Amino acid sequence: MSSQVFDTPLLFSAALVIVVVGIRNLAHHLLIFVGFAPHKVKLPGPRPTPLVGNLIDLRKGHARVLGEWAQKYGPMMRIVIGVREAVVLNTYSAVHKTFVSQGAAFQGRPEFHLWHGIFAQALDEGAPPTIGTSPYSDRVAMYRKQLTAQTATVRDRRYNHFAARRLYRLVSLLGRDHMKGPRDLGFYLWTTASGLSADMLFGEHLDETLTRHVAEVEILVFRQRTLGQPLYDVIPLLTALHDAARHAATLLRTLGMGTWLDELDVAEANAERLRKQEVCYCTQLAAELHERIRAGDTTPSQLGDLIRAMGNKLTPHDEVRLTTTLIGSGMGVGTVLTWLLSRLAAEPDLQEKAHMAIREVYGDEMPDPLETDRVEYIKALGLEAGRYFTTARLGFPRETTEDVDIEGVVIPAGTIVMHNSFWVNRDESRYDNVDSFVPERWMEGRYGNSSQTTERIGVPHLNHGAGRRYCLGIPYVNKMLYGSLILVLHFFDLDRAPLDEEGLAEVFPDFRSAEESSWRMDPIADQISECDAQALPKASGVRLRPRDRGALQWWISEGHVHLDQFDRPDESITAAGEAEG
């Protein structure tokens, strides 16, 4: 009896605790559902609005708004994306304390409905997104290890044949079209960079039609990664309403509300269309590669080398994940080059410095675009363009995989963490004259600061990320930036000029023709959209004038064959030659 008397209050207390906890959990989830974010991260930050958080302000422009907040709230701040807390890193030191020093805890990726659901699974419910946007797992770690081996600098020479042909095509097209008058250079630069990334991936030279198609699709695919758009992607209540609208589609159309429903589905329909196009050319090119390998072909290629190394371990989904990851790498290179060459066209002094630097190394000889480190000033132009324009304004968001303590501030597991790349690349503790375009900050032992030599520690800038999930394609990026720049600046003088009607009609992709950039190519004001994941410049007219018309025509007709490996069969690149790199 005494035991029963003792147990009754205990059971009642336990039941009461369960009820209270249950009510609190229910209230917590209900608050999140209707649009109130939790407040577990104790950092300063702008006041969020219920339901949307800080998204309304962010839609005024990511770099512009986050820069204003960074000045007010400091190195690390809390913002709210819909109903999710996010930490934004605003200084190089903050990035080092998180992504670098405690990198294991910051290698997750948040999942978003539009990208990881609608886009990735447009053709197959089990299909994966890219490796770079996938949540962390042992399999992702394995993929990154394999890709690191394929994209390492030591392997660059294996693809010189493809690089030489793409660079030859670039000069040939510019030599052909310069007489048309001022032209936007986007088509030439994006198709060069995206074409090379596809050539290296599949081991064959894509034709002109497919090259253009791949470049355009990959630019549009990247636009699907825009943070917080559409709103229902990050707001549970809107997600529920969106799903309900789908089930009530017939009724809504009967009531004359079909237009609203159609507009609601535009983002998803566009994502599905782009995914189908991307997967279509990736699977077709992969199938052709498999056929060539079975026939005994040994042409170097990133996917081909993986297939030969891993055999049957690569599933069809693995190949989708790998190919869609690597084929888009040229998009960012084309973006940086489009910004940079348009800026140089308004800066004759910078062009003259480049010409002098090339002559100091090569004299009257033709520069070799595949000798990536020969002309320091050309390399510095590429590095400064990455810092100054910071085309990947927010990088790819991370997600903490465990609770992390950063100098007494706890960032709970599952928190979105973003590096404010544009602002970090203007961190005055690391760079001087932060709002000026100064290539010299990367020359003669300097590493970001033009007034002093500095030990080369860490990444030069954050346009390619930092820590455990940084971009694996940096060697390729540097190769294409250098090769494209040295050839264009060797053969042409560039001037800015307005685009005529014909020039506007040729702008690539065509949505960039809605506005023209200023002559100074302001990194914020001259974006075609301030909320895109990749900062694409507005259209910009550039007039090209051959510096030596005879030398240009000679190189196009026959001089280009002196490029290393330009005219050799791909099979001639031996393991010994690879080791020498």
> CB-based burial of residue 443 (10 Å sphere; 0-12 exposed, 13-18 middle, 19+ buried)?
middle
β-strand 416-419 against 398-399: which pairing, if any? Answer: antiparallel
Residue with tokens 């031996």: 574
DSSP 118: I
Residue 230 CB-half CA count within 13 A: 17
β-strand 416-419 against 84-89: which pairing, if any? Answer: parallel
Backbone angles phi, psi at 544, to 5 degrees: -105, 130
Strands (E), 188-279: none
- How many helices (DSSP H) and strands (DSSP E) are in the chain? 22, 8
The residues, any chain, with a CB within 8 Å of residue 352's CB and separated by 6 or more, are: none
Residue type, 449: N
The sign one gets for the Cα dihedral 419, 196, 274, 517 is: positive
Secondary structure percentages of the chain, helix, strand, coil, to 5: 55, 10, 35
For every residue of 19-76, DSSP letters joined together read HHHHHHHHHHHHHHHHT----------PPPBTTTBTHHHHTT-HHHHHHHHHHHH-SE
The verdict on whether residue 471 carries a ligand-binding annotation is yes
DSSP 496: E
Annotated binding site for heme: 471
